[in-house]
Amino acid sequence: MAYSAKADVRRYLPRSVVMQGENPTPHPRDPRPESLLDTDTTAYIAQADSIINGRISAIYDVPLKKSNIGGTVGYPHPIPFISAVFAAWMIFQQRLSGSERAISDYTERMYGVATQQLDNIENGNIRLRGQDSYTSSRTVKSDLWSIPPRPGTQPANTAAGR
């Protein structure tokens, strides 16, 4: 399941990229042909999601699960944002490199923001609500969250064995 949608990725792409369905019949006043198919967008989103999963897999169960946060069912913030920005950045790098400088600066700035947020998730500065974490709570002493022994590795506690 993708963390972001085609519409999310569209927000971070320049106008020169025309996604499938945006201009199916070019008009003389808007002659831009469609340059990005839905299958390509899906592939870029999948690549972005695999980067996210790879970076946070030591902290959270991946793929992340949708949860009800404030009445809205979805992935926790900022995961959809990071996924959309990473996908848009990859599209821009692979299809539009060397294009307008101002657009390139914006894309790079947004990529930097998304990368910083992903770093904050890895460092524990941002916690993902509704997700199963491998790390203990920062406000509670860690030995209160003891890990049960693996079955078969330690002898059973019996009255005769003590």
Does the pLDDT at position 129 exceed 70? yes
Q: How confident is the model at residue 52 (pLDDT cuts 50, 70, 90)?
A: very high
* Least reliable range by pLDDT among 62-71, 113-122, 149-158: 149-158
Q: Residue 54 carries which DSSP code? A: H
Q: What is the DSSP string of 78-124?
A: THHHHHHHHHHHHHHHHH-TTS-HHHHHHHHHHHHHHHHHHHHHHHT
Q: Region 117-141: what's the mean pLDDT?
A: 79
Mean pLDDT (whole number) for 50-62: 92
User: pTM here?
Assistant: 0.74
How far apart CA 113 and CA 134 sit, in angstroms, is 25
- In tens, the pLDDT along 78-94 reads 999 999 999 999 988 88
